[in-house]
A and B are shown apart, each in its own frame.
Chain A
Amino acid sequence: MKKTQTKAFANLVASVIMLVFEIWAYIQTLSFKIVKKAAVQPATFPQIMCIGMIIFTVILLIQSVFKLMRANPDDPMMEAAASINILKNKGVQAGAFVIVLCLAYAALFEVLGYVLVSAIIAAIIMWLIGKRDVKQILLVSILVPLLMWFVFYKLLTVNIPMGVLQPLRTLVDMI
């Protein structure tokens, strides 16, 4: 197996990404408000956290480099890492597509309303993962969000956005 496909290499990549994030977060804390005569500044606690993260990330980085240099085949870190190759792995492609769907869901939650946007995303995901029974897809994707909306709205009095299906709420209120 190539070294670049091992868990040790994945750890190396992760620690480099984390280090960049941690240094960025530390730099951000430098711009926090300074309070005169305060024993602990608003930036102190986040800075301690950033330093803690940096220390352990460096440890992880050093560990990974040593593991890669030794390349001991019995070491669990030299086993294959999980794939994140979006170009070659169909599963990763599907995962990424679900992420895009979820982001669209959050963006359209208020505009289209919970029931409609949930029905759409549920139907698409069911189709994506191989469900081909159209009747079942329609039944589940419509009934589950409707039932959940009814439980939250009527029994738990949580007001959930209905978007374009607002007349449904009026109808339920009238009944």
Chain B
Amino acid sequence: MNWGLLFESYGSVFLNPQVLLMTLLGATGGVLLGAIPGMTATMGVALLIPFSFGMDLIPSIGLLLGIYCGGMYGGSISAILIHAPGTPAAAATLLDGYPMCQQGKAGKALSIAMFSSFCGGIIGALVMTFLSPLIADVAMEFTSAEMLMLAVFGLSVIVAISGQSIAKGLISAFFGMLLCTIGMDPTYSAKRFTYGVKPLYSGLAFIPVLIGLFAVAEIISGVERTINGEEKQEKSDEKIKEVLPDLKTIMSIWPQIISGGLIGTFIGAIPGAGGDIAVFVSYGFNKSFSKYPEKWGTGIPQGVASTESANNGCSGGAMIPLLSLGVPGDAVTAIILGAFIMKGIQPGPTMYRDQLDTVYCVFAALMLANLAMLVVGCAGVRFFAKIVSVEKKILYPIILVISLLGAFSINKNVFDVGVCVIFGIVGWLMNKFEFPLSPILLALILGPMCEQNFVRFMDLNGGNFMAITGHPIAIGFFVVAVGTVLFSIYNQQKINKREAAAKKAAKNID
């Protein structure tokens, strides 16, 4: 590590007004875009990359990283306030964020999300700075066997997020995995469940399904509750004295922030795996090791912290293979790779040898992007929290038309609006029958990765699945997955017993 050059590069980034301005603009745009359901950080970066054409490399990278980090946090705003994750990476934030909002703690949830996002991002940036060549080496060892078992490990988290009935959670998960198989088979291009409907050939788009299951279903349920007189207007008098969480809260969430940040960084460093996977892994991991797992999902700060630090940790992780090997870790870094190439710079191992100053400037830009996100978040948290005080009778139709527009904007296809509505109905019915929706999300994210690597692995090994025993990392993932499942089942049984005992005690008092 060349410390002198590192400090010099940080100075050149943090003291450059153009870089500061562009990063702040990027973070503002990212937070706003991320907060709109259907507008992902990837979309934001893709939409704004033309504006960076005329800039120097570092200001343009600052702009793009600002959008990336801002978008990751922005997704949590709508997840917490309106039960519709703005980005897939915020899908797990609603598990505890929305219940906190319903308890009149929207401001607290937002400030925890912002603080955790910032800390997660800083952890990611620090790990990237000091361990990037090492982590990239480990992640690049992954073959189809390791990727398959990584997906299996990710899926093992389903048990932890299934709620009271593990059977229902697993039915939801298998249903989600089945949905992933709609469309052309990725290996042999065979049509599956398409019935001649051309838009189905490319499969179901993830975002419209996500918006349908969560936002549209919530609106239908909300209308139903309002008519039945069961709807409660969230309190608008929550006084947000401080935009950052107080010391007591920080002390209670720091283990989740650290573990989430590290999990996010590691998963982000694996090409093809991003924030959407990391949040569920982090949530499941932290819930499993919690002293009171029964409280997870009821609106606790630890739930929000574990997911938000993980998705922002991913931003640093995803930059590791990009800079070290020239391989993007996710869709956003693929676009950032394009920005590097446009400027005549080819990221890869030689970059560490020939352009170490540029590498260090990128590290500094990521650190700055996280700071910019914190500034934008602090400035906006009071405003965002006010959204819940808007009368529900006005809020529901507004959310509906924004959500359906978000579903359309992904592929600019009306078919996706229909898909969104259909999954709104599915989500509403599943809520009625108390089937958990989160396992579907996780399955939709991991399903394609699971199938593609399963097919590739089996083809490479002549259909012999036992060849996986020759891959120690894959076996390691499998063992951890089995351990997670068993531990989660044990935990869930404990939760169910405690809840039953509490209900019995309450009845006896009555």
Contacts and interface: CB of A to CB of B under 8 A. Distances in A.
A95 B220 contact: yes
B396 A114 contact: no
Contact of A28 (B193, B398, B435): B193
The listed residue with most B CB atoms (<10 A of its CB), out of A42, A103, A130, A161, is A42
Contacts of B225: 91
Nearest to B192: A32
Interface string B320-360: 00000000000000000000000000000000000000000
Contact of B458 (A32, A39, A129): A39
A6 to B, nearest CB: 12
25 contacts: A7-B434, A18-B171, A33-B190, A35-B190, A49-B177, A50-B178, A57-B167, A74-B503, A91-B223, A93-B227, A99-B220, A99-B425, A102-B400, A105-B417, A106-B421, A109-B408, A118-B405, A122-B398, A123-B397, A126-B393, A129-B223, A131-B394, A136-B394, A140-B394, A144-B402
Contact of B459 (A39, A81, A144): A39
B178 A84 contact: no
Nearest to A57: B171
Given A7-B434, A53-B174, A33 B191 contact: yes
A164 to B, nearest CB: 16
Interface of B: 33, 39, 47, 164-165, 167-168, 170-171, 174-175, 177-178, 181, 185, 187-188, 190-193, 216, 219-221, 223-228, 230, 391-394, 396-398, 400-402, 404-405, 408-409, 412, 414, 417-418, 420-421, 424-425, 428-429, 431-435, 451, 454-455, 458-459, 461-463, 499-500, 503-504, 507
A131 B392 CA distance: 10
A33 B500 CA distance: 50
Contact of A53 (B178, B402, B412): B178
A165 interface: no
A99 B424 contact: yes
A66 interface: no
B454 A95 contact: no
Contacts of A89: 228
A49 B174 contact: yes
Contact of A74 (B192, B223, B500): B500
Given A25-B178, A103-B421, 16 more contacts: A11-B433, A25-B193, A43-B192, A49-B174, A49-B177, A52-B174, A56-B170, A74-B507, A76-B500, A91-B230, A94-B226, A95-B428, A105-B417, A118-B401, A121-B400, A156-B47
Interface string A75-119: 010000110100001111111001100110111011000100010
A65 interface: no
A138 interface: no
Contacts of A91: 223-228, 230
B503 A76 contact: yes
B224 A102 contact: no
Contacts of A103: 418, 421
B400 A125 contact: yes
Interface string A32-50: 1101001110110110011
B224 A92 contact: yes
A148 B401 contact: yes
B417 A106 contact: yes
Contacts of B393: 126, 129-131
Contacts of B396: 125, 129
Nearest to B404: A105
B402 to A, nearest CB: 6
A134 interface: no
Contacts of B221: 95
Contacts of B455: 39-40, 45
Interface size class of A (residues with CB under 8 A): 35 or more
A32 B190 contact: yes
The 7 A-B pairs with the shortest beta carbon distances in the complex, nearest first, are: A122-B397, A42-B190, A91-B228, A39-B463, A33-B190, A91-B224, A42-B185
A5 interface: no
A166 interface: no
B305 to A, nearest CB: 29
B507 to A, nearest CB: 8
B47 A157 contact: yes
Nearest to A139: B394
A11 B432 CA distance: 10
Contact of B181 (A49, A148, A161): A49
Contacts of A42: 185, 187-188, 190, 192
Contact of A90 (B168, B228, B462, B500): B228
Contacts of B458: 39-40
Contacts of A35: 188, 190
The listed residue with most B CB atoms (<10 A of its CB), out of A43, A50, A102, is A102
A114 to B, nearest CB: 6
A60 interface: yes
B174 A106 contact: no
Given A92-B224, A95-B220, A102 B188 contact: no
A112 B178 CA distance: 34
Contacts of B178: 25, 46, 49-50, 53
Given A46-B178, A129-B223, A140-B397, A60 B168 contact: yes
Nearest to B496: A76
B173 to A, nearest CB: 8
A1 B392 CA distance: 33
Contacts of B165: 60
A149 to B, nearest CB: 8
B434 A148 contact: no
Contact of A126 (B171, B397, B418): B397
A63 B167 contact: yes
A33 B227 contact: no
A170 interface: no
A99 B164 CA distance: 28
Contacts of B421: 99, 102-103, 105-106
A103 B162 CA distance: 30
